[in-house]
Chain A
Amino acid sequence: MDLLETQPAPEDGRGEDALVEALRMGDESEFAALVRRLGGPMLRVATSICGDRVVGEDVVQETWVAVVKGLDGFEGRSTLKTWIFSVLVRRAASAVEREGRSVPFTALASAEVEAGESPVEIERFLPADHARWPHHWASPPRPWGPSEQLGSAEVRREIESAVEDLARMQRAVITLRDLTGFTAAETCRLLEMTEGNQRVLLHRARSRVRRRLERYFAGEQR
């Protein structure tokens, strides 16, 4: 699941200390490997928060500057990856605040959560006063069979488009959790949000992506 861990990398312990030391000494090949490993996921996370690819690219660039200049201050209390992403998220949050919104970044999650949203259209359930099956499915989900090619390039594009269309904080949470592989606790720390808000936003985001896939597969059948 964790895309960041799919390539062999010194993630912890002595391996990571050695990597940090090499970077401090100006080891270019280690830096290049780190950029290749984290660059893509960083751009995706920054873009999800900023809602704009070009702003995301600037944030990634700023982050590398800050990381290289801040390496001496890195104390290894978190992994290098988590530290780099915390710098990235802070920069992305500042970019969002610079857009001229009156709301501070950390207030955005609560605002989205309070807006309310149901994971499935209410019309798909029987009414509350139904004699036999109140609030049971009226229009249940049709099982996805082997013909529903979840791994196909087209489905991937549909998923990316569904994620892009989410509200900002839903998009940020699902990108950190499901696309990048951060845990719930790490995501809460990075986005400075409560565990409850994180879960609600993840729930709505996943529910929306499922609905998009359902509609996509239903359209294909026609």
Chain B
Amino acid sequence: MTNLNTILTVAYRDLLKFLRDRPRIVASFVFPFVVILFLGESLDASIGKAMGYDFKLFVFTGVYTQTLFQSAMMGIISLLDDRDNDFSQEIFVSPVSRYAIIVGKILGESLVAMAQGIGLLAFGILIVIASDANISLSQGLGLIPVGFVACLLGGSFGMFILPRLSSRRIADQIFPFLILPQYFLAGVFTPFENQPRFISALSVISPMRYAVDLTRGIFYHGTSDFSRIVLERPLLNSAVMVGMFGLFLVSGTLLFVREERNR
């Protein structure tokens, strides 16, 4: 009960902060629209026809998952802001489990990311309606829970990286190197096929790949496009994601707490 109290308290604070940050809300809505609108249209016109399926939908599912994953991951960096602003001291001197604090932080940033994803989801529905894809309502709604799972994985991945970063400045420099390659390794914008062996090997250790593939596995379930787009079965993706989440959460929290106390 105490841990649940802590998780909800920490998570709610992050959500509240987001809802009061108007520039951040606007920016988080505009950027994915621009990506889907311009990149999706452009790719659809150039290679979409050759692929034989609606490329805008393909890009939408990729960008939707990547946005949620990345948003939750980047949100975890705010722990560094808290530390710089000395607010984390208030949280970390409270008599609660460090794991509960970190789970609360991941949950909070996941809720923030989901709030950002609502606009994107509405945009996706318009794309589905405009396309001739045979996507049912339940498949569309399936994007909500699967998106949340992507957030949790992104948040835990951020936590895994965080203890190795000493400041916000270093985090801002390092995170693009961890995120940008995953756009390609996860096949966010383009299908992941016929890749060199080392790229395929790197793709296997890219957490975003499993999140994006799970989203597409749910979204295209039962359609003729499933076998052409989805890389692995949703069950396998889910199992890998659960394993990664546990690994990232436990090792990230242990290291973070140790680094904070053993300065």
Partners in one complex: no
